[in-house]
Amino acid sequence: MRNKKYQFEIEDNNVIRAAIAPMGLDFRPNTRFYMGDYICRIYAIMQYPPTQDYGWVSKINNIAGTIVNFTSTPITETNIVDQLSKIINSARAEAENTRDALQRQRKTKTADDTTLLMARMEENNEKIAKFCCTIMVMGNDEIDFEQKCNRVESIVSGVGCKLRCLSRMQKDAWEHISPSYAPVELICDVGNRPMPVNAFYGGFPFQNSGFNDGVGYYLGVDNDGTPIIFDLWKRDGARTNSNISIIGGSGKGKTTLVKHIIVSELIRGTKVIVIDPETEYKSICDLFKEDGISRWIDACGGKNGMINPLQIRPKPLSDEEEEEAESKGISELALHLKTLEIFFELYLPELTQIQKALLTKALIAMYAKFNITWDTSVKYMKNTDFPIMSDLYNTLVEQRKTADKGVTDDMDKLILLLENITIGADKFLWNGHTTMQSNAQLIVFDTQNMKIMSDAMKSTQYFNLLSWCWQQMSADRNEKVMVVCDEAWLLINPDVPQAMSYLRDTEKRARKYSGALAVATQNVIDFLDPKVKLYAQPVLDLPSTKFIFGCEGDDLKAVSTLYNFTQAQKELVAAGNRAECLMKAGGRSLKLKVQLPEKRLKQLGVVGGN
């Protein structure tokens, strides 16, 4: 079979042809030159704003009748600090010595902007490079030339940059911008300005030369239709952990993305544990049921889903707590008592300080009966070696018999409050030894039936599940474990902010293990409640990777402020298009369209849901 020959007609691009092979060049000793039939002028950007809007380069790069050239020069940290310090000192000195109010204002702003740039370097570990941007304007005649020059000056000024015509350097500037020459040192010396590398990449809307981690799995496509390959476990300068936050209103596509990530991680061998408040992940359990690696658990109790709150489990420590534990030798029992503090505050918010103290005293006495003291290691203890809620109740009843008269009323109230958890309706949740098995690769805790419970019970059980999840995540530093907390706002309790603190500390500690915590929510406002903001805001902010789907109203305002959206990013999220989101990974931001094959959507059980 012979190959067919195809002929294509390619339209001439006179601008490129004139730049590469000009018919004639006539340089004048002023601010313009002639190249063939074109009247030309070359500018250089002499100052960039301290913060650039997303897509700012594209506004400069797409002006009709121009050629734009960027050159970059790496800078060592020592050199850039010295240079920026000189700029700050010089600008402040000139501001103090000048009598011109306008000049003083300009120099002060230069010093402030440069100080801000140095702060970004230190706080965000941003890389800085010298960038030289030259813009060549090409007009067909005098009127066209002047109009294009005015347009370039207006657009460049509009993005916050300052432009300068390279007077008496037009020939050097043309050689600098021409593909036939190497960059000209004179032009680089004049035009080089320090700028964060991420700010330059962010100048191209929703693209950073593609997003491809090399290994991983397909998430969807970017704004140009280029596939996005994502590796949850990749760490680099800006991606310091494997945690992710997924935010968006109902029906926007966040659950579809979470399900896809879960299945992709299971295929890669990751252990996945899901807290599922809407029975949305049972389809994934069914998908892997034949392989025998999945387990679906009704989190409202039952013989196979009991998690004993009194079984001592590790607590995720903040850096300060870990340092204190190592220096003072704080025991496993002492740390678990802190966890139980949060548990009982969530379950019984009406407890007084005296009752809390009596409860702690009873807990210590109860553990002593089971030969668990401050020095005991629980590493090799079985589930049945630990006390259950009935043992705590009985201990309190025994202590009541010999209690001082001053605390008998409080003990009676405490015993009464604990009756429901030992012999009442709540015993099916928490009064028993742990029966939950952790040997499945996929475990889904279905909390759908918790909807009929009180808010206190829902928060308490969510917290109990989370503490068990942390035990699995921290058991083996080499095993990759991903915990998915869907609708994590259920854990928010303004009266017990320690619950959010536990979730925040779990995120922080996960990076020191092979752990990842995925927090999904459609409710942002509650995370920013002043009573819990100190602990709750970092839960959404700490993850290195974030996916923000469509939001509106107060949630849109909150998430825009939280992540410091540019106008373009805010418009993307406000549009609320299904299966489209803003993806922020480390220092990079891009538009993600979650486009999955029909076969995968069926596997995920997606039929018009979110």
> How much is the CA Rg of the chain, to the nearest whole Å?
31
Q: At what angle do helices 567-575 and 553-562 cross, to 10 degrees?
A: 150
pLDDT value of position 16: 60
Flag whether 251 is in a domain.
yes
Residue by residue, DSSP assigns 13-74 as -HHHHHHHS-S-EEE-SSS-EEETTEEEEEEEEEE--SS--TTHHHHHHT-TTEEEEEEEEE
Tell me the pairing of strands 481-486 and 442-446.
unpaired
DSSP 540-568: HHS-SEEEE----HHHHHHHHHHTT--HH
* 2 part of a folded domain: no
The verdict on 82 and 172 lying in the same domain is yes
* pLDDT at res. 21: 63
CATH of the domain at 538: 3.40.50.300
184 in the same domain as 55: yes
Q: Are 49 and 199 within 8 A, CB to CB? A: no
**Contact (CB, 8 A) for 57 and 200:** yes
For residue 384, the 8-state DSSP code is: G
In tens, the pLDDT along 466-518 reads 888 888 888 888 899 999 988 777 777 777 777 788 888 888 888 888 899 99
Determine the pLDDT at residue 360: 95
> What pLDDT does residue 302 have?
63
On whether residue 75 sits in a domain, the answer given is yes
Q: Which of 148, 168, 201 is the last residue before a domain boundary?
A: 201
Q: Which of 413, 430, 447 is the last residue of a domain?
A: 430
How many whole angstroms from its chain centre is CA 241?
Answer: 9
426 and 482 housed in the same domain = no
Same domain, 302 and 349: no
Q: Which residue has the tokens 């002028």?
A: 41
Query: Do 455 and 603 lie in a common domain?
Result: yes
Give the pLDDT score at 609.
44
Q: Which tokens hold the place of 129?
A: 């490079």
Residues 413 and 526 placed together within one structural domain of the fold: no
Q: Which of 430, 463, 481 is the last residue of a domain?
A: 430
The HSE-up count of residue 589 (CA atoms within 13 Å, CB side) is 22
Q: What helix, strand, coil percent values describe the chain, rounded to 5?
A: 45, 15, 40
Same domain, 526 and 439: yes
Look at the chain and report how many structural domains it folds into: 3
The CATH number linked to 374 is 1.10.8.730
Q: Is residue 394 part of a domain?
A: yes
Those residues of the chain that have pLDDT short of 50 are 1-10, 205-209, 608-610
What integer pLDDT is reported at residue 208 of this predicted model? Answer: 42
Check: CB of residue 566 under 8 Å from CB of residue 219.
Answer: no
444 with 525, same domain: the answer is: yes
Q: Does residue 239 belong to any structural domain of this protein?
A: yes
Give the N- to C-terminal CA distance of the chain in Å, as an integer: 50
Could you tell me if residue 122 is inside a domain? yes
460 and 481 in a single domain? The answer is: yes
Q: What single string gives the DSSP state of each residue in 208-246?
A: SS--B-SSSEEEEE-TTS-EEEE-TT---SS-----EEE
Residue 228, domain member (yes or no): yes
Does the CA dihedral 417-458-352-318 come out positive or negative?
Answer: positive
In a shared domain, residues 381 and 235: no
pLDDT at 217: 92
Query: 45 with 74, same domain?
Result: yes
Full-model pTM: 0.64
The answer on 293 and 228 residing in a single domain is yes
What are 47's strand-pairing partners?
162
Q: Which domain holds residue 123?
A: 14-201
